Amino acid sequence: MNPFDLCPIDVCRFDFMQRALTAALLIGLAAPAVGVFLVQRRLSLMGDGIGHVAFAGVAAGFLTGIAPLITALVAAILGAVAIEVLRERGKTAGDVALALIFYGGIAAGVLLVSFGGASNANLIGYLFGSVVSVTSDELVVTAGVAAAVLTLTFALRKELFAVCYDEDVARASGLPVTGLNILVAVTAAVTIAVTMKVVGILLVSAMLVLPVATVQQLTRSFRTTVSASLFLGAIEAVGGLVLAFYVDVYPAATIVLAGIGAFAVAAVVGRVTRMGH
């Protein structure tokens, strides 16, 4: 039985929307699962940095004739590792490393686009998202990535939290800090490369950061933050997509605006609650 048969709204009756809703749900779960560790490490903008490197990968795909998702994935992973290498050496602070990757990715992307002659329609799909055009094969890839991200972050949640909380203490405890940092970065890169199909490269960081930042306004427990972030990410992604369907706008806009609206409400509620105590 198709679970969408139980859905009471019209949006569930279209095959392309069923695929889109499933993809949005999967990304809404996977993105905060890795995003919580980026936020904890104060690297919330890593999504933007890697996203711009992924843009260069997309441009390289159009130039070489290789599937843009593959080249974007490779570029995103290389960019993520480069950020960690620069940051780990200590000579380049995390924000400077992000800036270098950020601007380098943009410059390389623009240069490759000028050589590749990609159409504006193709580029817009990657820049602003095109979740309603997700194919069955892409949905399978998205499901595989989401499952891998959720499994990995759950299995290593204690080790990853220790590294994010205090690298020096984690290193003294015998944890492979460098390896775990690179693992988080690569996991983020893979998630970003897939997420860009939903919200686009320009807004990809929002899927990783907003649900986590929103929940942090209301909770203090790391475990609660993780579980609530996943739930909220799924609600924002699916709810934003449904809203976009009915008002006929880019889903990326409604998904991100839903996240910002939830953050604003949580910030007010959290402030009032703290004042009450």
Domain boundaries, the chain: 3-202
Domain 3-202, CATH number (from 3.40.50.720, 3.40.50.620, 1.10.3470.10, 1.10.630.10) = 1.10.3470.10
Percent of the chain with pLDDT over 90: 27
Residues 243-254: tens digit of each pLDDT: 998 888 888 889
Instruction: Determine contact, residues 116/68, Cβ cutoff 8 Å.
Output: no
- Would you state the pLDDT for residue 154? 92
Comparison of pLDDT for 233 and 104, the residue scoring more = 233
Instruction: Determine contact, residues 201/57, Cβ cutoff 8 Å.
Output: no
Assigned token pair, 47? 């999504």
User: What is the reported pTM?
Assistant: 0.87
Residues 132-191: tens digit of each pLDDT: 888 888 888 889 989 999 999 999 888 988 888 888 888 888 889 888 989 998 999 998
Residue whose C-alpha is closest to residue 178's, from 81, 100, 94: 81
Stretch among 48-57, 86-95, 212-221 having the lowest mean pLDDT? 86-95
Instruction: Determine contact, residues 252/200, Cβ cutoff 8 Å.
Output: yes
pLDDT band at residue 25 under the 50/70/90 scheme: very high
As a whole number of angstroms, the distance between CA 97 and CA 84 comes to 8
